[in-house]
């Protein structure tokens, strides 16, 4: 009985997730079509909407992104210090923090923060519009909700997330610098020199490519959940929760995919 119940619940959850994933792919395809039409000037979006979303996504999220990534850099430095000291290469902590932050941690941590800070807000906002039939009113007014609601948000997140990722790179390296110079006795000039020598443009570019992919994931998941709301306020709350959960899961999967691809290219190249 317990086994049957377990497999029954697992099957229903899997089927539900696959249905949601299919809807996300459909929404992403439609959003890309509308984006191309906007670029070709066959359709348009309001610049004020996009600028508002850019401020909301970028400027408002800046303090929490900086603070979290500084602490991530400090944690990474503290965690690896003892191992590097035993290996006799303590000063290489600058290299570990710099490469890890730019290639992996800064893009992923920033995206996870944004999935809660921005993605949940988008899902709740669009969900409330869906529940109050404002989205239906847009459709009856011949305004496509994807062009009107999704495209400006997608463009805003894709524009601002790479910028936040670059700032997060610096913040993470600052956290490593603080630990390395104040607590591990590494000279300031030496730490900065090793940090700069260890970084390559390909590491930074890899992080920015991930940031763009993460921006698509966060926006599409949030908007799909908002547009799929059923059941009023309860549905809005469920969509907000699902948006964060699905986003974090898909961000980790996407990060694994790009990490594998980039590491393979770097090794073969």
* pLDDT surpasses 80 at 182: yes
> What's residue 263's pLDDT?
82
pLDDT per residue as tens digits for the range 55-105: 988 889 999 999 999 999 999 999 999 999 999 899 899 999 999 999 999
How many structural domains does the chain have? 1
pLDDT at 43 over 90: no
How many Å apart are CA 143 and CA 65, to the nearest integer? Answer: 35
Give the whole-angstrom CA distance, residue 43 versus residue 250. Answer: 30
Euclidean distance between CA atoms 204 and 195, whole angstroms: 13
- Taking alpha carbons only, the member of 21, 39, 17 closest to residue 158 is 39
| pLDDT score at 267 | 61
Query: Does the pLDDT at position 241 exceed 80?
Result: yes
Residue 236 to residue 243: CA distance in whole angstroms:
10
- Per-residue pLDDT tens digits for 116-128: 989 999 999 999 9
What mean pLDDT value characterizes the chain?
Answer: 90
User: Is residue 28's pLDDT more than 90?
Assistant: yes
Task: Count the neighbouring beta carbons within 10 Å of the beta carbon of residue 235.
Answer: 18
Distances (CA, A) of 224 to 10, 29, 55: 23, 12, 22
pLDDT of residue 7: 65
Query: pLDDT by residue (tens digit) across 189-238?
Result: 999 999 999 988 989 999 999 999 999 999 999 999 999 988 778 889 89
H helix runs in 87-187, sequence order: 93-100, 106-114, 120-131, 134-140, 145, 151-182
CA–CA separation, 101 vs 173, rounded Å?
Answer: 7
- Residue appearing with tokens 């993470």: 172
In this model, does residue 183 exceed pLDDT 60? Answer: yes
Give the model's pLDDT for residue 144: 87
Question: Can you tell me the distance from the alpha carbon of 8 to that of 10, in angstroms, rounded to the nearest whole number?
Answer: 5
Rounded to whole angstroms, the Cα distance separating 43 from 256 reads 36
Residues with Cβ within 8 Å of 213's Cβ and at least 6 positions away in sequence, in order, are 254, 258
**Percentage of the chain lying above the pLDDT 70 cut:** 96
pTM of the predicted structure, to 2 decimals: 0.91
Percent of the chain with pLDDT over 90: 62
- List the domain range (segments joined by +) for residue 120: 2-268
């Amino acid at each position: 009985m317990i086994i049957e119940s377990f497999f029954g619940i697992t099957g229903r959850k899997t089927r539900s997730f696959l249905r949601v994933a299919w809807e996300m792919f459909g929404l992403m395809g439609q959003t890309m079509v509308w984006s191309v039409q906007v670029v070709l000037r066959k359709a348009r979006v309001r610049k004020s909407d996009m600028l508002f979303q850019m401020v909301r996504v970028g400027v408002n999220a800046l303090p929490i992104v900086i603070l979290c990534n500084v602490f991530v850099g400090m944690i990474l430095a503290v965690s690896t210090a003892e191992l590097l000291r035993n290996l006799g290469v303590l000063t290489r902590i600058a290299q570990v923090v710099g490469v890890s932050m730019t290639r992996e941690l800064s893009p992923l941590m920033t995206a996870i923060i944004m999935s809660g800070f921005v993605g949940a807000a988008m899902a709740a906002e669009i969900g409330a519009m869906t529940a109050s039939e404002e989205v239906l009113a847009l459709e009856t007014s011949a305004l496509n909700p994807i062009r009107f609601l999704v495209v400006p948000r997608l463009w805003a997140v894709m524009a601002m997330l790479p910028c936040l990722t670059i700032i997060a790179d610096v913040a993470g390296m600052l956290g490593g610098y603080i630990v390395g110079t104040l607590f591990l006795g590494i000279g300031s000039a030496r730490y900065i020199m090793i940090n700069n020598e260890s970084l390559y443009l390909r590491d930074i570019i890899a992080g920015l490519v991930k940031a763009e992919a993460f921006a698509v994931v966060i926006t599409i998941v949030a908007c799909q959940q908002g547009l799929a709301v059923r059941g009023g306020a309860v549905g809005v709350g469920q969509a907000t929760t699902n948006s964060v959960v699905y986003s974090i899961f898909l961000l980790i999967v996407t990060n694994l995919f790009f990490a594998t691809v980039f590491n393979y290219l770097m090794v073969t190249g």
